[in-house]
Structure 1
Amino acid sequence: MDALARRSHIKTTPNPDERLDYVITLTGTLGFRAAESSCQFSIRYIPDKLIISQASFAAYLDAVGEVEWANLEEAATAMLEDMGNEVVARWMQIKAVLSEDGGGTAALSHQIVLEDKQPQWDNASLLARLAVI
């Protein structure tokens, strides 16, 4: 599935008040069908003109799960690019956590956190109050 097909699942609505800086968090489970594993995926963003529809976020995660990714980094960076392209948020952070049973007593966890922001946007006091993920 190419980027345009994935992005077609992201539906947006107008931001009800563009004057405000506020944080939206969406979290869901991304099932990687090819790898038979799943990943907790969260996006936190400060909207500009658009907000992501919650229902479309779930559909988008399903579409991303259909792709055979080389690794979690490839999937996470593609998702940041997709969301950034469709939403154009003031600030955006994504987190992907893949946990697998390593067999025996070992459990494996792989976590990625990516951020992006508009070049001229700054609200350091708001970002400083956010919990570290």
Structure 2
Amino acid sequence: MITIAFSKKIYKDVPLPEYVDSRSGLYPAPLGRNAKASVITKIRQKYKFLGKFMAKALMDTRMIDMSFSIVFYKWILGQEETLNLEDLVHIDRNLYEQFKKLQSIVHIRDKLVSQNHLINKIHNKKRLKSKDDCQLENSP
């Protein structure tokens, strides 16, 4: 039986190189537009096998020790539109942290640009004052 043989390989103490163990779970890896047809066919076969394996486990009411990422579940359920930057933490924590740092740098930059705009506005108003300290109108 396929499920028994597959389970024996999964539950061995020594991790095999052909199996993946990820703390963040398994998630879909996008294929490039120029991916070869043979590669796509091979990946489809793996997904088909995985689907059959999971269906068989459900029918036999067996628990499968196979974790998928939250992003994968959203993808399977057709909820891609709900994905955002916060979901990246479930795939790659380091990449997520780098994006958050970059986001904070952009926020600081925007704040500085806004402050600089106000400073320039104040500076321009000061230049418009005449000798007798009367405010001159700056017409656009």
- Same-fold call, TM cutoff 0.5: no
Higher relative contact order (CA 8 A, sep 6+): 1
Q: Which has the higher helix share?
A: 2
Q: Which has the higher strand share?
A: 1
Q: TM-score range by the shorter chain?
A: under 0.3
Structure number with greater Rg is 2
